[in-house]
Amino acid sequence: MATAKTKKAPEAEVAVDDAPEPPAAQPGDPGFDWQTEYPGEEVFVFTAADGRTVGLAALNDKRRPKPGVLRKLRLQNAVEQMWFVLERVASEKALEVSDDFDDEDYGGMFEAWSQWNQAIAGESSRSSAS
C-alpha cells in the first residue's frame, strides 16, 4: 500500500496595495454620492424601503419654472404636478432608480423632498434678509 505525501505550498504574501478595490457605488446603492449628479447644488437623499437611494436637487433658481409654466401647471391634476416637479429636480440616474419604486416609496420620496425643500427655502430667505 502506497501512501502519498503532500506538501503544503508556502502561503503567498499579498501586499495591501495589491488588494482589489471594492467596486464604486452605483446610483441607487446606499453608498452612492448623489452630490456628483448635482455639482454645486444642495441635494436631498431619500432611502426607499428596500434600501435604494435617490438624490434630488433643491428647487433652486436654476430649476424653478417660470411663472407662465406655473400658470399652466395649476390646471393639471396633482399627479401631473408631482411628475413635473420631480423631473425638474431629478437627474437622469435618479429617475432611472426611482422608476422602479412602488407607489408608497414614490409618495414618501416626494413628501420628504417637499418638506426638505421648504425648510431650505426658508433658511435661504432668512439668510438673504439679514
Q: pTM value? A: 0.75
In a domain, 76, yes or no: yes
β-sheet bridge partners, residue 45: 55
d(CA 47, CA 129): 33
95 in a structural domain: yes
- 113 or 20, which is more confident? 113
Residue ranges with strand state E in the chain:
43-47, 53-57
Q: If you compute the radius of gyration of the chain from its CA atoms, what whole number of angstroms results?
A: 24
Please give the residue range of the domain that contains residue 67: 27-129
Number of domains in the chain: 1
| Residue 8: inside a domain | no
Total residues belonging to the chain: 130
19 found inside a domain: no
Does any domain span residue 106? yes
pLDDT tens readout for residues 20-72 = 888 899 999 999 999 999 999 999 999 999 999 999 999 988 899 999 999 99
Q: Which three cell numbers stand for residue 77?
A: 391634476
In the prediction, which pLDDT does 116 show? 97
